[in-house]
Chains A and B, each alone.
Chain A
Amino acid sequence: MIPISWYLVLSLFLFVIGAFGFIARRNVIIMLMCIEIMLNAVNISLVALGKGLQHTAAHVLVFFVIAVAAAEAAIGLALVVLLFKKTREVHMDEFRTLKG
């Protein structure tokens, strides 16, 4: 039996890597992919805990997370396409119109 804490640590590593990628990459598509990595990390930890507690709610939640992530990826990419059509630019640090 692999202790659950190992899964949690693994999930943590993946999450942190995803977070770093989100903050540090300029390309918006890569940023979206990093979001997917983060969500997946969470999925791992949820499944592990579901196995540990032997409760179906955790796995059902994973199901929902995957569904939502897919929806979000779709919309996000649609927006990226729109953005590219308008400005022909996909680097996030070039967009400063929200500067206050």
Chain B
Amino acid sequence: MRYVVWIPLLPLIAATITLLFGKWWFRKQSHWLPCAAVFGSFLLSFKALLEVIDGARANFDLYSWVIADTFRVAVGFQIDPLSVMMLAMVTCLSFLIHVYSIGYMEDDPGYYRFFAYISLFTFSMLMLVSSNNFLQLFFGWEAVGLCSYLLIGFWYQKKSAADAAKKAFIVNRFGDFGFALGVFLVFLTFGTIYYEPVFARVHEIAHTTVNLFGHEILLATLIAVLLFCGAMGKSAQFPLHVWLPDAMEGPTPVSALIHAATMVTAGVFMVSRCHELFELSNVAMAVVAAAGTFTCFMAATIAPTQFDIKRVIAYSTLSQLGYMFMACGVGAFAAGMFHLFTHAYFKALLFLGAGSVMHAMHHAPDPTDMRYMGGLKKYMPATFWTFLIASLSISGVPGLAGFFSKDEILWSAFASVYPWGKIVWLVGTLVAGLTAFYSFRVVFMTFYGEFRGREVLHGHEPHESPKVMTIPLMILAVGAVVTGWIGIPHVLGGENHFAEFMKPVLGHPHFHLPHGWEEKEALLELLLMGVSTAMGLLGIYVAYLVYLKRPELQRLVPTRWPWLYRYLYRKWYWDEIYHFFIVRPTLFTARHIIQGVADSVAIEGVVNGVPDLIRRGGEGLRRLQNGVVQTYALIMATGAAVVILLIYLF
């Protein structure tokens, strides 16, 4: 299966060539090479997927970078169900978004740069998921962070974009610090950084404890929590979630690719890959579940207040990522990956649809403001229908993809062995209602009612986007429906192919049913399914009520509970809190201590002081040269006398 090497390599080559030559040679045609490369990668990934379904596996090193006694670092590939599913998904979405970008980024002066960057990102993500050791994972981790920075700040002349890019990178750095410590600890514990030996021997440390600041904790807990720090940063979980909404400054295809489908899912992928490690420690599982639950809830409360269409979808992503971590936190890693898979399709579709809407509104000063949209259903039918399908999918309407993946998570949570499963289920069900509510809020505000933006568009009418943009939307809509069908649970008559496929790698969650229900597992599952579906439909109905039937209800919360509204609208004030507690002290330290003392006194003192000293010494010595030849002769004679004296003495 060595051909899998070409899967990340093709986009890398395309990215390099486009970046080097795009400005002068390709220009408007810059899209051909990256699109062709990613399509090639997709075909190869699909082939690999078929082979893995038949039972093939691969784990080989391509190129050994460091061989130092027992320490070995190499570029290696591990092809198993988990990685091949990610490969197929990433390449498929990347290709569709490449095609979409041909239309979306058409008049942008940085056209070639965009394609180079998203190809480079595709390469990074593919390296991340196909790696067979922690260091290559880390390389991919950092590389996607870099590409994210480049792409968020794509329109770098805009200050808000540049700031958002910096924020993303810096917040990620916090997470990556913990992640790096985790990788170091893995190496210290197991002596190797390759997955296979580490996970084979992971039971050895099942009871090993370490002494951390006076407390005895499990080594597994420490490693898992440190690794999870990286996941928190990369997948924007609380407390490192603040960068994702700001990342919407980047072009919409970027948001779709990176901040919906691929990069932010890297955290979930990593936790699933390392699940054997996480399962050793209850504390770590609790941490994962807690982070996921809190983020899920928090994001779902903020989303209904935002007017920027991309921000709403960003918070929706945060919330759905929370679902994935909730699944991991109760041991249902396959369910988490399943939701990752379906979510990629409908979330990318939501973003691209929003991009299509923004494309239509691009004459407006703020094309993302939903208050100026409305009634776009009749102007942009293709966009409308695909967006609707995605929204139905995310709301968990039965039959569509989101329903199957979300319900599997909720069922696994409720029936889980872990004690926090019930809480996770409760929050998850509530948020399902909220999700439906805010998703359909967007649908109703944007596509229904009267078009409110005639003034801001200066009389232009919004029009449908070109085929190169709508065809990917339609393909993704098919995905948003169909991708759920590979995971139809047994209770509804299906065979849950997805979980079976992942079982060799991700194992099987353990269930502990409440007392009295042991016989009626299927009934319980159906009951819970009904409850969450009801919540979803309730959410849709409330959205319909507030935004279409009785619009005056929109002012209900802002007027009755203004403090609550403000708290939610200001994103729970996390940005302000971080600014006060972290950013300001850091800037203060940098400005006054580092720059003020260490730099200007110590370093400048030495750097300026030494030459100054030398200069003064030189000036002093210069006075020896007074131009009179005889002084020189005198000095020579003195020197000779001194030398003879020294020789005589010694």
Q: Are A23 and B627 closer than 8 Å at their CB atoms?
A: no
On whether the beta carbons of A92 and B627 are closer than 8 Å, the reply is no
CB neighbours (8 Å) of A31 from chain B are 630
Q: Is the CB of A19 within 8 A of B637?
A: yes
Q: Select which of B622, B625, B628, B637 is within 8 A of A93 by beta carbon.
A: B628
B622: nearest residue on chain A (CB-CB)? A100
Give min CB distance, B644 to chain A, whole Å: 11
The docked-state distance in angstroms from the alpha carbon of A93 to that of B625 is 13
Cβ contacts under 8 Å, A93 to chain B: 628, 630
Which residue of B627, B633, B637 contacts A95 across the interface (Cβ within 8 Å)? Answer: B627
Q: In the bound complex, do residue B627 and residue A96 qualify as a contact, i.e. CB atoms below 8 Å apart?
A: yes
| Across-interface contacts of B625 in A (CB, < 8 A) | 98-100
Q: A53-100: which have CB < 8 Å to B?
A: 92-93, 95-100
A22 and B633 form a contact (CB under 8 A):
yes
> Taking the nearest CB of chain B, how far is it from the CB of A7, in angstroms?
20
Cβ B633 vs Cβ A23 within 8 A: yes
Q: Residues 617-635 of chain B: 1 if any A CB is under 8 Å from the residue's CB, otherwise 0?
A: 0000010011111100110
Residues of A within 8 A of B627 (CB): 95-100
Inter-subunit contact B622/A95 (CB<8 Å): no
The chain A residue with its CB closest to the CB of B640 is A19
Q: A98 — nearest CB in chain B belongs to which residue?
A: B627
Contact assessment for A22 and B626 in the assembled complex, using a CB-CB cutoff below 8 Å: no
- The answer to whether A22 touches B630 (Cβ under 8 A) is yes
Report Cα–Cα, A96/B627, bound state, in Å: 4
A23–B633 Cα distance when bound, in Å, is 6
Are B628 and A23 in contact (CB-based, < 8 A)? no
> What is the chain A residue whose CB lies nearest that of B637?
A19
Nearest CB in chain B: distance from A35 CB, A? 10
- Residues of B with C-beta under 8 A to A99: 625-627
Cα–Cα, bound, A36→B569 (Å): 102
Complex-state Cα separation, A19 to B634, whole angstroms: 9
A contact residues around B630 at 8 Å (CB) = 22-24, 31, 92-93
Q: How far is A19 from B622 in the complex, measured between Cα atoms in Å?
A: 25
- Nearest B residue to A20 via CB reads B637
Residue in B622, B626, B634 whose beta carbon sits within 8 Å of that of A96 in the complex? B626
B622 surroundings in chain A (CB, below 8 A): 100
Write out the residue numbers on chain B whose beta carbons fall within 8 Å of the beta carbon of A23.
630, 633-634, 637
Q: A19-B637, A23-B634, A23-B637 are in contact. Are A92 and B629 (CB under 8 A)?
A: yes
Interface centre among A23, A93, A98 (most CB of B within 10 A): A23
Instruction: Give every chain B residue within 8 A of A19 (Cβ-Cβ).
Output: 633, 637
Give B457 Cβ to nearest chain A Cβ, in Å: 78
Q: Are A92 and B628 in contact (CB under 8 A)?
A: yes
Chain A residues closer than 8 Å to B637, beta-carbon distance: 19, 23
Interface positions of B from 581 to 598, Cβ below 8 Å from A: none
Closest 6 CB pairs of A and B: A99-B627, A96-B627, A100-B625, A98-B627, A23-B634, A93-B628
Query: Which A residues contact B (CB, under 8 angstroms)?
Result: 19, 22-24, 31, 92-93, 95-100
Where the two chains meet, the residues of B that have a C-beta atom closer than 8 Å to any C-beta of A are 622, 625-630, 633-634, 637
- Further 9 A-B residue pairs, CB within 8 A, beyond A23-B633, A92-B630, A100-B622: A22-B633, A23-B634, A23-B637, A92-B628, A93-B630, A96-B627, A97-B627, A98-B625, A100-B625
List, sorted by A's number, 7 A–B pairs whose CB atoms are closer than 8 Å: A92-B628, A92-B630, A95-B629, A97-B627, A99-B625, A99-B627, A100-B622
